[in-house]
Structure 1
Amino acid sequence: MNREEISRIAHAHHPIKSPLDDESVRLLLDRGISRGDERVLDFGCGSGEWLLRALSAHPGLHAEGVDISEAALADARAGATELGVEERLALHHRSAADFVSPHSFDLVLSFGATHAFGGLLPTLAAAREHLAPGGRVVIGEGFWDREPSQEAVDMLGDFTDLATTMDRVIADGWTPVHGHVSTRQELDDYEWACWGSLASWALEHPAHPDSPEALALSVTRRSEWLRVYRDTWGFVSLVLRQTPR
């Protein structure tokens, strides 16, 4: 069972692939979109959930998404057609790190894609290359809420604490104009949704050759969350503007 299929099933009931509820997503988009006629770019857009919500809320908006998954992009196209926003959405099947555009963007989004660039600051550097003057970046990143175990670091990555994360972002030339730290409920809801959806799929498709693997994986991932990183890992979403030099 490949990683892409696992992700598709796991996010069936939580299409925003980050620990954020619908209201938090709405508020973050509202803070990133000021006029309503912006051009928006999403690095690692997946099924396009962020872009579809932005396009639906703002009829004057135009958006572009970049992702390496053709299946996810097909879902984004289908969603755009269903909502009647397909003419305002362009999708690109390629690595976010390789994306080149002839124009700049008023808003750059990145959630769950910083690994494509090698971390938070390299992702912000890539966003800066695509950002129009006065534009904004809305980005999500993990952090350690408490001192992690080595097992947690090996599992999730070498994050820093929230204060250090902010210091690094500011030192890199960005000014935070809004932020949201995911609540315990948002963090827990995300994990329950992902591994519950994977387990449900396995139970509902007992004859499928991947069913035993999916069920076992749901048990493993849930256990890792509860035993290894639930009490130490957090998630912050930032709305950033470039600091005047």
Structure 2
Amino acid sequence: MDLPRSFTIRESSHRIHNPLTSQKLAVLGEALNPPPGIRMLDLACGSGELLCTWARDHGVTGTGVDISTVFLASARARAIELEVADQVAFTHGDASGHVADDPVDIGSCVGATWIGGGVAGTVDLLRRSLRPGGMMLIGEPYWRREPLDQATVEGCHATSEDDFRVLPELLEQFGELGCDVVEMVLADQDSWDRYVAAQWLNTRRWLDAHPDDELAEQMRAELTVAPARHARYQREYLGWGVFVLMNR
């Protein structure tokens, strides 16, 4: 049980595996200002930057769960680097079925709502771990502009225009699920550039070091088209944000 190797190649240098920059992650923490000692559960936590930096900056405690052994190794190393290894723990497992043993103050799934089969299922999953009055963090794409055609949809790594909503409709969906939206931090085009362009550099460095690897042809073909595809489609049409929800 692990992520495909192509994914960890692309994001080998990433601390945050979505287009939220470290500055915006800090802004979100400052906006919520969680009191020291509160407990978090971060599903599909990746390299653990959310938990580790909030443990350092706000004194939170908690657990991250992820399917990637590579990213979890980075998360544990980051916890040691930031001297918060006594505050956070990381578990290898399928986040789609993970429920906290004891209710948590904040439950998060930032950029991986596929674990719940979409937004509604992920909200339901997080609710099962949340104490009354707690908060949920959901990271999710949305259409900045409605796509012109199927090529635009596929250029944004979607299969159908219905895979995402425009921002007002996404916010309305949270309400339909019985949640109040109490905060949000949105990626901008520069956030996307920082996230995606780092993938290109990671891929190129990997190709230079592994020219005969069985994945080399696939990764070379991807790198050849990725920059223009990003500029033509994803950068222009796809938004992304972290939305903070509370049950009504």
> What is aligned with 1:71?
70
Q: Distance in 2 between matches of 1:99 and 1:185?
A: 33
The root-mean-square deviation of aligned C-alpha atoms, in Å, is 2.1
User: Shift of the alpha carbon at 1:208?
Assistant: 4.6
Q: Which amino acid aligns with 2:158?
A: L
Which SS does the other structure have where 2:81 is aligned? helix
Q: Which amino acid aligns with 1:156?
A: A
Match of 1:179 among 184, 188, 202: 184
> What is aligned with 1:156?
158
Mapping of residues 14-163 of structure 1, within 5 Å: 14-59=14-59, 61-148=60-147, 149-154=149-154, 155-157=157-159, 158-163=163-168
Deviates more, 1:65-74 or 1:114-123: 65-74
User: Shift of the alpha carbon at 1:161?
Assistant: 0.6
Q: Which amino acid aligns with 1:36?
A: P
After superposition, the C-alpha distances for 1:142-183 in whole angstroms (9 at most, x for unaligned) are 011112122343432510111100111112111111112211
In the alignment, is residue 198 of structure 1 matched against residue 191 of structure 2? Answer: no
Q: 1:22 to 1:162 in 2, by over 3 A?
A: same
User: Shift of the alpha carbon at 1:104?
Assistant: 0.8
Deviates more, 1:109-118 or 1:226-235: 226-235
Work out the percentage of aligned pairs sharing the same amino acid.
Answer: 30
Mapping of residues 209-224 of structure 1, within 5 Å: 209-224=214-229
1:32 and 1:138 in contact (8 A); partners too: no
After superposition, the C-alpha distances for 1:174-209 in whole angstroms (9 at most, x for unaligned) are 111111221111122222112232123212444555
Q: Distance in 2 between matches of 1:93 and 1:152?
A: 35
Q: Distance in 1 between matches of 2:236 and 2:11?
A: 22
Which SS does the other structure have where 2:200 is aligned? helix
Q: Which amino acid aligns with 2:206?
A: W
After superposition, the C-alpha distances for 1:45-89 in whole angstroms (9 at most, x for unaligned) are 122121111112133x21101111223222222222233322222
Q: Distance in 2 between matches of 1:225 and 1:86?
A: 37
Q: 1:31 to 1:135 in 2, by over 3 A?
A: farther
Q: 1:144 to 1:115 in 2, by over 3 A?
A: same
Q: 1:75 to 1:189 in 2, by over 3 A?
A: closer
Q: Distance in 1 between matches of 2:52 and 2:6?
A: 22
Structure 1: give runs of 5+ residues left out of the alignment.
none
- Structure-1-length-normalised TM-score: 0.89
- Structure-2-length-normalised TM-score: 0.88
Q: Distance in 2 between matches of 1:156 and 1:45?
A: 22
Q: Distance in 2 between matches of 1:195 and 1:76?
A: 22
